[in-house]
Amino acid sequence: MTTHEKAKVENAVLVVERWILARLRHATFFSLDELNAAIAKLLNALNQRPFKKLPGSRQQWFDELERPALQPLPAERYVFARWKKARVNIDYHIEVERHYYSVPFQLARQEVEVRMAEHTVEVFYRGKRVTAHRRSHQSGRHSTVPEHMPKAHREYADWSPQRLLRWAKQCGPHTTELITRLLESRRYPPQAFRTCLGILRLGKSYGNKRLEAACRRALAIGGLSYKSVESILKRQLDQQPLPTQPAPAEPLPEHTNIRGAQYYH
């Protein structure tokens, strides 16, 4: 905006203050609609008022010069959104703030662009939108479109539940049981691929023997997650005896001063 244009805008504000706000300064209104109606009436009178040094009025100039140049408003309101890049995992899901959204399985391992709005998450590949989801703030959960999944998971030959279980069996029965339970815990088994692969790859760092022991401990304590198995290995808990169950309490001896729980029923 130039200095000349800025002066015109400031002068227009001054005119509104004098012809509208000043006239309403002593009035009392009991609703916003009532105030807006009063402002609209004075605004219309101001726009119809003839110029002193120019022909016509504000309304006439608007109708002749500005109205023909106006474009229609967008069909939808502007929505603020943020963008990020994401790599599609082998389970054809991307992570957005710890929630996982599916994309067509053909895009596994590809880099995509994600548009994150208040209520939607849109995914673009090479400038073309490939899917959209209702945004979810549930951490660790999945939003999966069935059409994004390969038919019976056969067309996606790189990974499958059977391949993961074959890998798990190389470590031992406890690793196999843990992977099986993870796969069965999800509505769609591929949703557990990320966790299963992470656990199995721990065998490359710590060895299959230690991984098997860690999975045994994880099953015993109910720690069916990657972080639980990883923590066991990092803290070397896999080399410690398993926690024992507390022995059942012995019954109280018979005595006249000991009433027992049944007394209070």
Whether residue 262 is predicted with pLDDT greater than 70 in this model: the reply is no
State the pLDDT at residue 155.
44
Comparing 8 with 108, the larger pLDDT belongs to 108
State the pLDDT at residue 252.
55
Q: How many CB atoms lie within 10 A of CB 163?
A: 12
State the pLDDT at residue 84.
96
Of 240, 162, 220, residue with least CA distance to 196:
162
CA distance 208 to 134: 41
Contacts of residues 117-121 at CB distance under 8 Å and 24 or more positions apart, as own/partner, are: 117/79, 117/80, 117/81, 118/79, 118/80, 121/96
Share of the chain above pLDDT 70, in %: 88
Of 61, 150, 48, 39, residue with least CA distance to 103:
150
pLDDT tens-digit readout, 71-101: 998 888 888 999 999 999 988 899 999 999 9
Judge whether 147 and 102 are in contact, CB under 8 Å.
no
To which H or E segment does residue 94 belong?
Answer: strand 93-96
State the pLDDT at residue 146.
85
| Cβ neighbours for 149, distance < 8 A, ≥ 6 positions apart | 92, 102, 105, 188, 190
Helix (H, G, I), strand (E, B) or coil at 27: coil
Amino acid (1-letter code) at residue 241: P
Whether residue 258 is predicted with pLDDT greater than 60 in this model: the reply is no
Judge whether 155 and 196 are in contact, CB under 8 Å.
no
pLDDT tens-digit readout, 8-46: 778 888 888 888 989 999 999 999 999 999 999 999 999
- Per-residue pLDDT, averaged over 32-61, amounts to 91
Amino acid (1-letter code) at residue 19: W
Helix (H, G, I), strand (E, B) or coil at 215: helix
Ranges of each domain in the chain: 8-64, 81-152, 161-239
Say what the pTM is.
0.48
Helix (H, G, I), strand (E, B) or coil at 74: coil
Average pLDDT, the chain: 87
To which H or E segment does residue 177 belong?
Answer: helix 173-184
CA distance 202 to 257: 58
pLDDT tens-digit readout, 147-199: 888 765 544 446 778 889 999 999 999 999 999 999 988 877 777 888 999 99
According to DSSP, the β-strands at 81-87 and 111-117 are: antiparallel
Judge whether 120 and 132 are in contact, CB under 8 Å.
yes
CA distance 108 to 151: 15
